[in-house]
Structure 1
Amino acid sequence: MATNILVTGASGFVGKNLSTFLQNKECKTNALSLRNENWKADFLKSVDAIIHLAGKAHDISNVSDSDEYYKINRDLTIELFNGFLNSDIKKFFYFSSVKAVADSVEGILTEDEVANPVTHYGKSKIEAERYILSQNLPEGKKVYIIRPCMIHGPGNKGNLNLLYKIVEKGLPWPLASFHNQRSFLGIDNLNYLIYEMLIKNDLQSGVYNFADDKALSTNELISTVNKALGKKAKLWKVSKGLIEKTAGLGDKLKLPLNSERLKKLTESYVVSNQKIKSALGIEKLPLSAEEGLIKTIKSFKKEK
């Protein structure tokens, strides 16, 4: 069992939560800052595993310098992985993303999908993945590439914040005529999976998707937010054609609802978590998708 763990990106949302969770499981965690030029000297011989969370997050506003994605997400990961290969450390976890494979999904995304990322974020992540998978692993070492879908939890509003604000203000949801399915990943389920991977010594190296057990439609999501806030959902089934025309107008007049935002709010993105569950011999994750979301939404209320 890996009990002494090095974590990069330990000050981020996932890093903080995962480190606390592992410490409560009597694991020792050490933060490794890759911003420190002498980080290579911090490789500890007594460390059992590295969890590499640090990276440049996806900038949906597209104002980031594209080179930064490759320097941080690809080049730094390669450098860290090479350090792992030359160390006594047994396990390496690389947090990639489902966006390293596809920006949009038809059907259900599995680990076998041929990668075709469209953003610099996704491309930088898949290039790091490919390097890691192309290397020969010394005997006794294991490598796990984690592809999470949208992560949420108390303290991290992310994309849920827009829906939360709509519901909190008592506004109706006008896109109820659109039907979609999206996968989410609650931080509690992420923590649980990583811990189970750390303690399972015969888990095969490879790529593993992380997602909650069930995908939810945006309508179900709106209903869940209402439930968490003790409100009654207001789902308006405005005609799709009218909404699409309004979004088209929004493109020209720079309105809040435009074609791109409509696509993001109504498209499907379903991710399978069957491979990791089968590998760990578990039937279901600790929290349902709805339970995890209610926990997150209730935390927004407390923050006010």
Structure 2
Amino acid sequence: MNVIITGISGFVGQNLSRYLEENNCNITGLSLRNNWKLTANQDALIHLAGKAHDTANTSADEEYFKINTDLTKKLFNEFLQSDIRDFIYFSSVKASADIVEGILDEDHVSDPKTPYGKSKLLAEQYLLSKDLPKDKRLFIIRPCMIHGPGNKGNLNLLYKIVEKGIPWPLASFHNQRSFLSIDNLNFLILQIIENKNIKSGIYNFADDEFISTNQLIKIISQVSGIKCRLWNVPTGLISSVAKLGDKIKIPLNSERLKKLTESYAVSNKKIKRALNIINLPVSAEEGLIKTIKSFQSK
């Protein structure tokens, strides 16, 4: 199996390419920064490259559309003219919704509010608008928050808070969130490119179980061997502090508070039905424990 990957130097790209190579795939990285062209005799093109959501809100809107939308259009047009069978586009659940009530599935009417989400959705809409030859497949992947050893982000921030013995002051916020272990992501992509019976379409990627932030704090405490300290500070007070963080530089702002406390439950039933499986290889808790343990070695 010959596979091209854009964004191969990123966290997902490094892990995915290594995993596919271990499973008898020949991997070619493709940089889209300068002049590029698709090579012949390839089976799948995995498009990971893109501009990630900037939680500090310092990026210009046009940057998202230039990279996430326009570049994806150009790459897909080249794919249509090539002999490559599969195009796998890594979009985001944020292309569907910024706020989730209930459980998000692929039938949800997309209504993103941020430039990031809008740029991803516009790319999706363009891909779906094109006539796809019968011998080709298009997969639009919408992953939720991806994590794994070597990945930095809010999980690492939470780990540092627990490690330092700082009480978690947001315990009064009750939520249910979906995560995606890099191990489950790798497994799903390999299944897609190996199984020719899976139909084109949009697929959410998420672990099987939902985890609350309070549960996550407890898991981190258990792994770290540190007493779990959950403080139920009134939500109104926390929100006021976050608004202050929007104006001056402090660890908490409204965007970060939203990410840490909002509910965002994502269904992965569609992809599991397509693969005819009941569970993914790694449970949500197992994946989180693996990621958290990786923080301890640093």
Band the TM-score falls in, shorter-chain normalisation: over 0.9
Matched, 1:89 2:87: no
Aligned to 2:167: 172
Measure the CA separation in 1 of the matches of 2:248 and 2:41: 59
Q: Which moved more, 1:290-299 or 1:259-268?
A: 259-268
CA contact (8 A) 1:157 1:300 kept: no
Inter-CA distance 26–233: structure 2 relative to 1 (3 Å threshold) = same
Inter-CA distance 141–219: structure 2 relative to 1 (3 Å threshold) = same
Deviation at 1:245, TM superposition (A): 5.0
TM-score normalised by L of structure 2: 0.95
| Counterpart code for 2:159 | Y
The Cα offsets for residues 72-120 of structure 1, whole Å up to 9 and x where unpaired, read as: 1111111110111111111000000001111111111111111111111
Measure the CA separation in 2 of the matches of 1:280 and 1:229: 36
Q: Give structure 1 stretches of 5+ with no counterpart.
A: none
Aligned to 2:102: 107
SS at match of 1:5: strand
The Cα offsets for residues 57-80 of structure 1, whole Å up to 9 and x where unpaired, read as: 111111112211111111111111
Deviation at 1:260, TM superposition (A): 4.3
Matched, 1:28 2:26: yes
TM-score normalised by L of structure 1: 0.93
Deviation at 1:240, TM superposition (A): 3.4
Report the RMSD for the aligned CA atoms in angstroms. 1.6
| Counterpart code for 1:129 | E
The Cα offsets for residues 30-66 of structure 1, whole Å up to 9 and x where unpaired, read as: 00111131x12xx222100100001111111111122
Q: 1:18 aligns with which of 16, 19, 24?
A: 16
Aligned to 1:281: 276
Size of the aligned set, in residue pairs, is 298
Q: 1:49 aligns with which of 10, 35, 44?
A: 44
Q: Give structure 2 stretches of 5+ with no counterpart.
A: none
Deviation at 1:301, TM superposition (A): 1.1
Matched, 1:227 2:225: no
Measure the CA separation in 1 of the matches of 2:235 and 2:216: 19
Inter-CA distance 26–63: structure 2 relative to 1 (3 Å threshold) = same
Measure the CA separation in 2 of the matches of 1:207 and 1:171: 41
Inter-CA distance 229–258: structure 2 relative to 1 (3 Å threshold) = same
Percent same amino acid among aligned pairs? Answer: 65
